[in-house]
Each structure stands twice: as structure tokens, then as C-alpha cells.
Chains A and B, each alone.
Chain A
Amino acid sequence: MAYKGQSEIMEYILMVVFIVAAIIGIIIFLTWWNLQQFQMDAFKNRQDRIIGIGQYMMGDYMFTNGDSVFDDAKLTAINASMNCDDLQKILGTNWYVKIKALDMEGEKPCRWNDYPNCNVWSICGYKENAKDRFGQNFPVNVYRKVSDKTALGVLYVEVYS
């Protein structure tokens, strides 16, 4: 009879332990879940921003000749003359764009003196000390005005904190 009583106490203790463990498990799981959702939302927001900037660049006649075909002459002119603040008024701050034509080896930045023997245009300058960088590549074309040829290119859009 004494064993029976002890076993019942053990049973109660086990039940209590189990229920407490289940509650703790649920709390940990929900906390982890919330964190994951926050991270996912943050990632989605950044991705949406990158897509927005990318689509703006690919569709604006200031940079392109048509849908996703960047004009190297326009890009060089913008690179040399345009102030980043003007674009930041439209697209917000903390972003950086690089367009690279893939018809040349390596990376040769485009300035007035180098044109047309260059293949990289940077808009709104790369910041060394920026944090939380996140970037995506888009396939595009770059129209070479001097040679009248369309080259394959990459539009890299990066956002940061």
C-alpha cells in the first residue's frame, strides 16, 4: 500500500513536470517563432526595396533606352554630373547601385576620360563602413553607343543600414 501511495505521488510529480515542460516548450517555440517572423519580414522589406530600386532603374529613360537596356553614354553622363541627393529624394537613402557590362574582362570604372573603354558605373557610391548590407543582381543589357552593340550586363542593387 505504501508503494502505491509513492507511485501516485511520483505520478503527480511526473504530470506536473510534464505540464511545466510543455508550457516552457510552448513559450520557447512562440518566442522563436516571433523572432523568425520578424527576421523574415525584415528580409522581405529589404528585398522589396531592392526590387523597387531595380525596377525604377530599369524602367527610367534617364538611364535606359528601353526596358532593362541601359545606355552607356547616359550612364557615363549621370555618373559624372548627377548628384546622388536628387536620386535619394526619389528612392530614399542608404542604397547603392552598380551596373556592369559583361563584354570586358575585369572591372574598369567609367569616367569621362575612360569612356568607352570601361564597363562599370556606380551610382550613389559604395560606402565602406555601411552595416547590414544586402544586395541582389538583376540580368540587364548595356547598349554600347560607340560600337552600336548590346552587351549582357548585371545590375547590382544593395541596401544597407
Chain B
Amino acid sequence: MAKRDYSLLGPDGALAVETGLAAAEWYHTDVPRKVMKDLMARRDGPALRDTVILYGCMIAFALGGIALWGSLWCIPFWLAYGVLYGSASDSRWHECGHGTAFKTPWMNNAVYEISSFMIMRNSATWRWSHARHHTDTYIVGRDPEIAIMRPPAFAKLVLNFFGIVDVMNFVPRILHNAFLGPTAEEKTFVPQSEWPKVQRVALIHVAIYAATIALAVLMGSVLPLMVIGLPRLFGAWHHVMTGLLQHGGLADNVVDHRLNSRTVYLNPVSRFIYWNMNYHVEHHMFPMVPYHALPRLHDIIKHDLPAPDRSIARAFSQMWPALRRQLANEEYFLRRDLPATAKPYREDFHKAALGEAIPAE
């Protein structure tokens, strides 16, 4: 088989459209309408509570780090601040981008904008890229958010635990957006009516970073950048760790989220940072269910899903060797065996995509 072309302007994307793989109807587990309405119901309470805790902790850790600046005692404060800045912002960006975290729209939008800034994503662009990710999840040439392409670039994956690749991509992109508008690839999924907004948001981000750098130069200290900017590097590890597990090593070019997404059980701290996105099959199958209802949704539909991984370590112990095998064989992936109670779906698509010759794990 030919090498995968992940470009949104390339032949794989065009082929996915031609074959009907793109924008296809995806599998959903049957859930009674009344139950689903209850699961989808919006509330402000849980997200308000979590946001007060998050921003309260960030302020406290930053004040601690500033107060102890110059001594080694500041390190734990910055590490804790960093993981909230550089990782919790990813899940807040995600949930508020969906508009499901809060019931009140302006609260979703406010947290979305703040989180987008912290995670270094143009809020106007990424809203659209994420919509495409949900339409064409891990469809090669269509999904702009494929975190692990085949064959995996291990050096980049490891560097990104420190945010290095993301930031290296972000800087030229935000400058391009600020001064020239969306890039050619971004124009394939951002409607033209939104292009001025892409530029406006980028200008605001660039202005804040320019002011922070100017302040650091004036103070002759890196301290302002410890508060704004650098935590995206030293606090990125948690969101990369959990984010890679979402789809890493699993099938691509299928239209059943049970086959290309992974649910992992997490400890309570990681679940707070990740806002329950460890229930990732459930999230993709029903993206309108808020994060706080995902554990309930999981309990209702788990009979129809592959068995969840019991921990981050266990999930990595399966994913990492699979990624290594993909170095030599791009077609290799972890096949998710469905339970006997699960309903099969679209075997016409999946017979080719799943490949009978590839062993189940």
C-alpha cells in the first residue's frame, strides 16, 4: 500500500471523499431518547466549580512561584502551575469549544478564549479544525488533528512532551495569521466569513506575547515568561500523555469510533486536569454529552464498547510497542475487539480497513 499522505490538500483526502469514507455516517450505540436527553442536559454548576478550583490553584501556585523566585523551593510551584497552564488548558479549550462545559454560552466562550491563548491555538481556527476532526476522525487526508501519523515520528512525539513541536508550529502560524490571515490549509476548513476573525485573534495573541517579552526585557528577568508562555512548554507533558492515548496506535480510515478511539480509566487528579476526556470513545460517539456526564454515559453503553484500558501505564504499554511496529510496517495497528454483546457496523468499509491478515492484540 502507498504511503499515507496526511496533507489536507493531497490525494488521500480526495480519495476519502470519492469513496464515501469522508463525512460518512458513524456508528452510535442505541441509547433511549429520554436517557440521552438527560445526559445531554447542560449545567453551569460542575464547570463553575472546576473553573474556580483551576484558576484559584493557578493563582496560588503562580504567587508561590513568584514569592520563592530565586530559590529551589519555587520549582514545585512552577511545575504545578505549569501543568494547569500547559495541560488543563487543553481540556478546557476542548470542552468549551464544543460549548458543552457550561450551560451559559458566554461562560463557554470566555473560558474557550483564555484556554486557547494558554494552549497556543488560534481560537477562531481551531474551532473549525476540531469540527473536521469529529466529522472525519482519523481519516487520512481529512482530519487536521491526527496526533500520531504513520510511520510515527518518535523524536517529535518525545519533544512534544515538552511542547516543543507544538510551539515551533504555533509561532510561524500565529504570525502568518496575524499579518496574512489563515494559511492555505486552514482555508480548507475555515469558512471565508471567519477569516477576519482568525487574523483578529492572532493579533491579540501576538500583542500579549510581545508585551510579556518586553516586560521580561525591562525587568531583566524571565519571570514574566514563567507566568505567560513558558508553562506551555514545561507543563505540556500531561496533555500530551493523555492526548496520545485518544487514538494512538489504533485503526485509521474507519467510521466506527470503537475502533479508532480509546477509553482509559484515570486517577481523579488526571481526570480533573483532563476533564473526563479519558472517556474518549464515548465523547466521539456522542460529542454533545458534557464532560461531567461522560462517566454516566460510559456505564450505560460500555456493553457495546471494547474493554477500556485500566490505567495510563497499561494503555501506554500496549500503544508504544504498536507505534514502534508502525515504524517498519505502516499498516500495523491495534485492533479493538468488540465484546460479544456489541453490534457490528459497516463491515463493507471495515473489512478492507481492518485487514484480516493483521493480528488482533
Is A bound to B?
A: no
